[in-house]
Structure 1
Amino acid sequence: MSERWPTELRLAKDKRTLSIVFDDGAAFHLPAEYLRVTSPSAEVQGHSPAERKTVPGKRNVEIIGVEPIGNYAVKLVFDDMHDTGIYGWDYLYRLGSEQAERWQAYLDELAAKGLSREGR
């Protein structure tokens, strides 16, 4: 069971930002691209840290679905048809609170691997 509980979850009209407010007052605005490249799915994370993938080319991705999973998570569906990540409340909280560091690490990985947010 999650220690943190969302009190509000909204998908922006342009489908590019998921906003979430938690019961401790923390509020995060998470871009679709960020959520897609940090998906908790095995497709992205692998089955061990060594298998984790750097996902390029998602600058313009949109969230086309937000589906509740019990009372502990949501499944996000992206317009590139990725839909296998289950985003638990604690994971979304960590993504929000660690956004700057995680995003910079992602940009650094792209650069080190010669990849682009544009998907070239």
Structure 2
Amino acid sequence: MSEERFASEAGGSSHWPTELRLNRAERVLSVSFDDGSRFDLPAEFLRVESPSAEVQGHTPAQKQLVTGKRHVAITRVDPVGNYAVRLTFDDGHDSGIYSWTLLHRLGRDREALWQSYLDALAAKGLGR
């Protein structure tokens, strides 16, 4: 089966997911929220925006530019309490914990974040 569904329970987050669906074939995590929003988040995008210290550093100036993830896939989605999921990628990265609020923000701001990533790659002469 190429899709996995993860249903959520009621909770106290300001952006609470009503459904997470991993489409392995498309390499996309789809997230629907109780405010009616729905986002399709590509694995590559989630990987390069990982909330892990390895990617984000401890200050904005320490953020790492992650390259070579065009074909990365999500292999696991594991709940973390009732507030987040841990994504495991096929490149071995699994230290990012994606809170519901972060997933909502990544979905809402995806276009601007992706363009900023592409611009940073171009400025350094790097590719995806």
Counterpart AA for 1:115: L
Moved more, 8-17 or 62-71: 8-17
What CA distance in whole angstroms lies between the structure 2 residues aligned with 1:11 and 1:95?
16
Is contact 1:15-1:64 (8 Å) kept?
no
CA distance in 1, matches of 2:21, 2:83: 16
- Aligned to 2:45, the other structure's residue is in SS state helix
Deviating runs (4+, > 4 A) in structure 1? none
User: Do 2:48 and 2:55's aligned partners in 1 also have CA atoms closer than 8 Å?
Assistant: yes
TM-score w.r.t. the length of structure 1 is 0.95
Secondary structure in structure 2 of the residue aligned to 1:101: helix
1:115, CA displacement in angstroms? 1.2
In the TM superposition, residue 13 of structure 1 has moved relative to its aligned partner by 3.2
2:95 pairs, out of 76, 84, 87, with 84
Structure-2 residue corresponding to 1:68:
79
Q: Counterpart of 2:72 in 1: which secondary structure?
A: coil
SS, match of residue 67 in structure 2: coil
Question: Could you tell me which residue of structure 2 aligns to residue 57 of structure 1?
Answer: 68
8 A Cα contact 1:15 1:63, kept in partner: no
**TM-score (norm: length of structure 2):** 0.89
Residue type of the partner of 1:104? Answer: Q
Amino acid at match of 1:28: F
* Alpha-carbon distance in 1 for matches of 2:121, 2:68: 10
1:99 equivalent to 2:89? Answer no
Of residues 54, 59, 75, the one that matches 1:43 is 54
Q: Which runs of 5+ in 2 are unaligned?
A: 1-11
- Listed one character per residue, the Cα deviations across residues 14-54 of structure 1 (whole Å, up to 9, x for unaligned) are 16100000001000000000000000000000011111001
